């Protein structure tokens, strides 16, 4: 199949249009020079984004108002949410898993913070602050199976994004939140990028690295540590693991599509990878670092590949074998010989941000997105 159906027609139904719509610009915000101060807010949303959201919703503009209505209807976005902080969060089989408590509270903090920026209603800011302060005052460790690294990466970058939105609030304990990022989330993510849980570097699929990159980058920005930001950027470009951009997208075909290696695994994980890489690129962009355009917009080519395949289109795939195992221990290999099956009805809320960057900010063609 060669149809060039756009994913954007599906996005309004997902209710995620609230933050998009920036006009085309040629360059990233000019904060990326070494030694330049980091920008705040400057993770997934910058100040202009938040102002635009508020203005569009106030004007009842489409599709922004509809997207905001979906946000306000979500149970996490209510000012009555009460946190349930834990001293230790566990994720992984064979452990007393309680990680859902953490991510639900983070979602509530993030959504309430967004509602505050859009409406100015202080109750939502107060709720976000109360949630984040509760967790920074109690959480001391992430434990469990190897999945603890996923917990650190995913919930680390998410916590930082929620906290970034209320960092100027008078009741928010910024220093304690920064300490939580430095001592609980970041160490696991940085260690994974360094040692990969004691495994050979290709043992884990790209998403493991990408969650860690997102956490390290978010930590550096939120905690104003330029060296940590540069660590994440360097790994994205040149890291040895599967999550660096040239390993996640190892082949660019003559038609311009970039082969997403995890398409040989399954559709759900490939979509997750696109979303995670987009998250990394957007956070970097808001600090003046253009990872979207790195290596001739390699990420765009990979995103187009996954979008076309997910829509039912035919895409090429280069058979590959990756080594698995523990360093000094067991060893094996796994071969992916072709793309996995794809269901056009399967989607994740990942496409709007990516399409907005390439088509509106940069004015580039982006088929299938």
The answer for residues whose C-beta is within 8 angstroms of residue 13's C-beta and 6 or more apart is none
User: Using an 8 Å Cβ cutoff, are 180 and 241 in contact?
Assistant: no
Instruction: Write out pLDDT tens, residues 226-254.
Output: 999 999 999 999 999 999 999 999 999 99
- Asked if the structure places residue 66 within a domain, the reply is yes
The pLDDT value recorded for residue 30 is 54
- Asked if the structure places residue 348 within a domain, the reply is yes
User: Using an 8 Å Cβ cutoff, are 299 and 278 in contact?
Assistant: yes
- Asked if the structure places residue 367 within a domain, the reply is no
CATH number at residue 243: 1.50.10
- Asked if the structure places residue 120 within a domain, the reply is yes
Instruction: Write out pLDDT tens, residues 78-114.
Output: 999 999 999 999 999 999 999 999 999 999 999 999 9
- Asked if the structure places residue 313 within a domain, the reply is yes
- Asked if the structure places residue 136 within a domain, the reply is yes
- In this structure, the number of other CB atoms found within 10 A of the CB of residue 36 comes to 12
Closest CA to 133 of 113, 152, 151, 117: 113
Q: How far apart are the first and last CA of the chain?
A: 16
Phi, psi for 172 (deg, rounded to 5): -80, 130
Which structural domain range is residue 185 located in? 7-361
The pLDDT value recorded for residue 32 is 60
Into how many domains does the chain fold?
A: 1
- Asked if the structure places residue 2 within a domain, the reply is no
User: Using an 8 Å Cβ cutoff, are 349 and 16 in contact?
Assistant: yes
- Asked if the structure places residue 1 within a domain, the reply is no
Question: What is the C-alpha to C-alpha distance for residues 15 and 36, in angstroms, rounded to an integer?
Answer: 36
Phi, psi for 344 (deg, rounded to 5): -60, -20
The pLDDT value recorded for residue 7 is 45
Consecutive 10-residue averages of pLDDT for the chain (369 residues): 38 38 50 77 98 98 97 99 99 96 99 99 99 99 98 99 98 99 99 98 98 99 99 99 98 97 97 99 99 99 99 95 95 95 95 98 96
For the entire predicted model, the pTM comes to 0.93
Q: How far is CA 94 from CA 90, 146, 344, in A?
A: 10, 11, 35
């Amino acid at each position: 199949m060669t149809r060039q159906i756009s994913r954007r027609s599906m996005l309004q139904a997902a209710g995620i249009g609230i933050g998009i719509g920036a006009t085309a610009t040629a360059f990233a915000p000019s904060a990326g020079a070494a030694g330049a101060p980091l920008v705040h807010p400057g993770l997934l949303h910058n100040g202009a984004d938040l102002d635009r959201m508020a203005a569009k919703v106030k004007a009842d503009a489409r599709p922004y108002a509809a997207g905001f209505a979906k946000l306000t209807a979500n149970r996490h976005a209510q000012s009555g949410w009460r946190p349930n902080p834990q001293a230790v969060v566990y994720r992984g089989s064979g452990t007393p898993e309680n990680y859902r408590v953490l991510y639900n509270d983070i979602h509530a903090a993030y959504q309430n913070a967004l509602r505050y920026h859009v409406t100015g209603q202080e109750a939502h800011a107060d709720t976000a602050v109360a949630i984040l302060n509760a967790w920074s005052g109690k959480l001391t460790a992430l434990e469990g199976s190897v999945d603890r690294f996923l917990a650190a990466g995913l919930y680390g970058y998410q916590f930082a994004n929620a906290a970034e939105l209320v960092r100027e609030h008078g009741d928010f304990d910024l220093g304690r939140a920064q300490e939580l990022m430095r001592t609980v989330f970041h160490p696991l993510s940085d260690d994974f990028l360094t040692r990969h849980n004691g495994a050979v570097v290709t043992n884990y699929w790209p998403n493991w690295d990408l969650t860690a990159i997102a956490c390290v980058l978010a930590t550096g920005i939120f905690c104003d540590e330029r060296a940590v930001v540069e660590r994440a950027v360097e790994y994205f470009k040149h890291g040895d693991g599967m999550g660096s951009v040239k390993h996640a997208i190892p082949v660019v075909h003559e038609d311009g599509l970039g082969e997403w290696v995890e398409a040989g695994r399954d559709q759900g994980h490939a979509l997750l990878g696109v979303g995670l890489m987009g998250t990394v690129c957007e956070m970097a962009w808001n600090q003046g670092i253009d990872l979207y355009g790195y290596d001739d917009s390699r990420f765009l080519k990979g995103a187009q590949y996954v979008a076309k395949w997910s829509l039912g289109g035919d895409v090429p795939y280069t058979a590959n074998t990756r080594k698995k195992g523990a360093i000094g221990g067991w060893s094996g290999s796994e071969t992916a010989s072709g793309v996995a099956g794809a269901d056009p009805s399967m989607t994740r809320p990942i496409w709007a941000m990516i399409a907005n960057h390439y088509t509106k900010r940069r004015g580039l063609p982006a088929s299938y997105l």
